[in-house]
Structure 1
Amino acid sequence: MNQKESRFLGILFGAALLLLIVGSFADLSIGRALFDQNSIYGNIFQAYMMFPQALIPFIAGASVFHYGLKHEHPLGKAVMTISGAGFGYWSIWQGVDIWMSYTTSSLDNIKNHKPLGAAGNGSGEQVVYSFGLEALITLLLTLIGLGITYRWLANKTTEEFKYLLMVSVVAVAFIYLSESIVDISKANWGRWRPYEVTEVVNGSKGHFTDWWVINGKNGHRSFPSGHTIAGAAALFLPFYVDRKNIKLQEILAYAGLIFAFLMAFGRIRIGAHWMTDTMMSILIAGLTSLLLTKMMGLSFIEKAEKEMNMDMEMSKDMKSDMKKGMMKA
């Protein structure tokens, strides 16, 4: 692990762990101080900022699609383009479905004079919106996305495509593994959400429990945060950057980290999660992405040329010292 990557991961895990510790003592007071289900910031992040969860697998699908276009064998071309475009469409559909669901719920809340953020309160009511409109928006976004990625991938070599396809497999594994960990934990932890503790919801009022207390399957799903794990999917963006473009890798790594924390704050602000819920999701995303990428020999940020030269010089010095030692012996 090189210096830039070590620094980035140190900030990621250090900040998340520090806030997890703070939240362990102050979850209730922080949640009550920040709680506002009419927060515009919180509602924007709740309804529209889960897109990294759809964007990462879409890029994977687009990579397969564009590699298929260059495939010489007709069958290989057909299989890869159809499956890549289909997976990309399905990935975008997940995001559009969430946007439309929250938008429709929010408009309904405004109409019925309810808090705007109550769109995420999970009342069990079915939200009705146009399936055809959802399919059309998804199609348009998919075509736009394939057009944008074509400009990015048009001049990639076969070796570069092989790297991107490997990254795509790891990216999809990262998305579904991290989501599964969060979903399983949610179901079994049974932690009440801040709005469930501060007000009567569905005829009853919940009670606060610390994050390490496992309440069992009781229908409450605060710990960890699903929205935050979706936002933290942006941590995977640096792996899609050309391995020689270290500056862009670094920019996207920190941009993804900042975005994850912004999402975390939005979830606390709107009263959907406690601080510890969100920090645990960031830790899960960080650990999952680190484990999977290191298994494949990938780095968030590659070594700078200066650092590589230093490593080469150190290697030469070590070899020279070993040679001298052998000669003396």
Structure 2
Amino acid sequence: MTRPSHEHEIGIGLRMAIIGAVLLVVAVGVGIAVVTTDSDLIDLDAWWNAYVTTFLPGIAPVSFFMNVAGAGVIGTYVVPLVGAALLALFRRPWGAVLFLAASAFGALVVQLLKSVFGRVRPEEILVISDHGSFPSGHTANAAVLATVAVILFPRVWVLIVGLAWTLLMAFSRTQVHAHWLSDTLGAMILGVATTLLVAAALAIPVVREREKRLSLG
């Protein structure tokens, strides 16, 4: 007979899979909307791209820092590898696997959608970026990091910090005109979606490890 705890873990995995799949569809739907010329999102993007230039101009240095920290070598390789190493050091090996797998899968889906949609970035862009504006890789990376943190450390303060980090990253991408607002909104949804799908596949060992560590305080 299957142990109740095993059923509990499977149940959590199933819920994460369903929510992840729904959010993935929503993220792709946002992408379809932004390449549709009659989408209301286009008007919203144009308004925000002009408005963000005058909104909190004093934090522009923060946005340029986020540009470096959120992707490239640091965001794509250093953060996942260091984060995974720390999780392994603190006896969370499955948490480390989740972080690495979610980061890799999220980056793969981002690049796939960039190629599919091929959206042009704002003309006012102030940083050097790769092809494709939708979705924002920086914002998706931030959402992956935040979602992994909440899954492994289910605390209100972790949720608040993760959300704040993701929103700051999204704002920074629009302030340097690297992305349209809808690029970042779609990326936030996408980052959560891809992480939940990976977590669903690893639900049994990840949940078991998490609950064991939480029980130990």
- Identity over aligned residues, as a percent? 21
Partner Cα separation in structure 2 for residue 23 and residue 261 of structure 1: 18
Partner Cα separation in structure 1 for residue 179 and residue 167 of structure 2: 13
- 1:28 is aligned to 2:46: yes
Q: Is the 8 A contact 1:56 1:233 kept in 2?
A: no
Q: Which has the larger radius of gyration?
A: 1
State the shift of 1:193 in Å: 0.9
State the shift of 1:272 in Å: 0.6
- 1:179 is aligned to 2:85: no
The answer for the alignment partner of 2:5 in structure 1 is none
Equivalences for 1:248-259 in 2 at 5 Å?
Answer: 249-259=155-165
Distance 1:165 1:220, change over 3 A: closer
- 1:262 is aligned to 2:180: no
Cα deviation, 1:167-194, whole Å, max 9, x if unaligned, reads: 2212211000100111122133221111
Equivalences for 1:183-262 in 2 at 5 Å?
Answer: 183-194=111-122, 196=123, 198=124, 220-235=131-146, 236-241=148-153, 246=154, 249-262=155-168
The answer for the alignment partner of 1:158 in structure 2 is none
Equivalences for 1:146-165 in 2 at 5 Å?
Answer: 153=90, 161=91, 164-165=92-93
Q: Is the 8 A contact 1:167 1:239 kept in 2?
A: no
The answer for the alignment partner of 2:197 in structure 1 is 291
Cα deviation, 1:244-277, whole Å, max 9, x if unaligned, reads: xx5xx32112311221111001111111100111
Q: Secondary structure at the match of 1:188?
A: helix
Q: Does 1 or 2 have the higher relative contact order (CA < 8 Å, sep 6+)?
A: 2
Q: Is the 8 A contact 2:84 2:96 kept in 1?
A: yes
Distance 1:48 1:172, change over 3 A: closer
The answer for the alignment partner of 2:69 in structure 1 is 48
> Unaligned stretches of 5+ in structure 2?
1-10, 34-39, 212-217
Cα deviation, 1:122-164, whole Å, max 9, x if unaligned, reads: xxxxxxxxxxxxxxxxxxxxxxxxxxxxxxx3xxxxxxx3xx2
Distance 1:55 1:48, change over 3 A: closer
Count of aligned positions = 167
State the shift of 1:282 in Å: 0.8
Partner Cα separation in structure 1 for residue 174 and residue 140 of structure 2: 14
Q: CA RMSD in A?
A: 3.4
Partner Cα separation in structure 2 for residue 252 and residue 275 of structure 1: 25
One-letter amino acid of the counterpart of residue 193, structure 2: L
State the shift of 1:238 in Å: 3.1
Partner Cα separation in structure 2 for residue 24 and residue 251 of structure 1: 34
TM-score (norm 2): 0.62
One-letter amino acid of the counterpart of residue 233, structure 1: V
